[in-house]
Amino acid sequence: MMELLRENELIWSPVVANNRMNRKRTASGVNSYEKELNFNPGIYIDKRLEEQGYAKWLDLCCGEGNALLQYANEVAGAKLYAR
């Protein structure tokens, strides 16, 4: 699993993103976090659910929220949501 940067490291990192990266990216597929960054948010969230029994996803200023919507549809399709 990909190691995430701590906040201070992220703030000072040289990484920049363009519109396609931020606004159109999905969790998995052609233009995805999984393909471009070797990180699938869905797998990460699933692991947290398995370990902790709950998970949260905060999506701030991320454009269209496609990765979150893609994962939400997968969860709804698999009926994994809380009742």
10-residue mean pLDDT profile of the chain (83 residues): values are 79 65 73 80 88 84 77 79 54
pLDDT at res. 51: 93
* Partners of 26 in beta bridges: 32
Which residue type occupies 62?
Answer: C
Which residue type occupies 64?
Answer: E
Identify whether the C-beta of residue 55 lies closer than 8 Å to the C-beta of residue 49: yes
| pTM recorded for the entire structure | 0.58
pLDDT at res. 22: 61
